[in-house]
Amino acid sequence: MNYQNILFEIKNHTGIVTINRPDKLNALNGQTVSELEDVFSEIKNNSEIFVVVVTGSGEKAFVAGADISELNKLDVISAKAFSEKGNRIFREIETLGKPVIAAVNGFALGGGCELALACHIRFASENAKFGQPEVNLGIIPGYGGTQRLARTINSARALEIILTGDMVSAEEALRIGLVNKVFSSAELLAKTLELAEKISSKGQQAIRFALKAVKATDNISLTEGLAYEASLFALVCGTEDFKEGTAAFLEKRKPNFKNH
Ligand code: COA
């Protein structure tokens, strides 16, 4: 499929999605959000893609938020549709069933921070800056920020970020658990792709079940979660990868998983 505001390529089982409006700091206009939905649907249906990396074009921004020139025109009815569309698409990313890693290469503000939060793992460059500056515009986060930030970091810290609109540096983001790791700008993409390739080298049924089980903690109790884990554990023991992985260990050799 052809995209106007997104670059998409596949490298060694990794789908790389780059938001590409660098002159607008990769701000998410309606067209870009729709294209995100299309590219993630393409990724879901492509069995050659095991892991996804999301990043921004240029050296300055991951995504500097929703496009404020479009926000400015919203009324009560269209604002509801705007927020529901973003929430639906970001939820599709979160529930894709394949690991999605954000490579946050600069400003991740508003919808940019929310997009990173919808990803499963976040790596950032030293110049990355996170924030939910919506209150500065007289609005609140509308693409899941109030929900995912409070679930990802301490809720009092999430409230401080949302109520002040202040930006958080990469170093601070690492300290509060908003990102997994921080690298220099020059290293960020290579390190992110290295992680993607490491995940791709495992048995993919195990990767998908592990992701499902961990993400289930968003919605279910510990008792239900443990029962769910036991069911997925049983299912994964029915796979060729399970036989191969355990046999390879016992035979002191590298596993040759079915997907490779
Ligand atoms: N929506 C639309 N356009 C945006 C944008 C956004 N969220 N963020 C940046 N841009 C545009 C700017 O308008 C400017 O366009 P122009 O060159 O046509 O005037 C271009 O991107 C570069 O941004 P600029 O503001 O000149 O860069 P800067 O380095 O001075 O400042 C930011 C960077 C991120 C601090 C600043 O752009 C900003 O505050 N952006 C808005 C962030 C925000 O509130 N996001 C949440 C929206 S809900």
- DSSP E strands in 157-240: the ranges are 168-169, 181-183
Within 6 A (CB) of ligand 1 lie 24-25, 27, 64-69, 107, 109-110, 133-134, 137
Cα separation, 115 vs 101, in Å, equals 11
Pocket test for ligand 1, best of 32, 68, 168 (most atoms within 8 A of CB): 68
Residue 258 is predicted with a pLDDT of 85
The pLDDT tens digits for 233-254 are 999 999 999 999 999 999 999 9
The pLDDT tens digits for 37-71 are 999 999 999 999 999 999 999 999 999 999 999 99
The Å distance, Cα 64 to ligand 1 centre, comes to 6
Pocket test for ligand 1, best of 20, 21, 24 (most atoms within 8 A of CB): 24
Q: Which sequence positions are flagged as catalytic?
A: 114, 134
DSSP classification of residue 159: H
User: Measured from the CA of 129, which atom of ligand 1 is nearest?
Assistant: 34
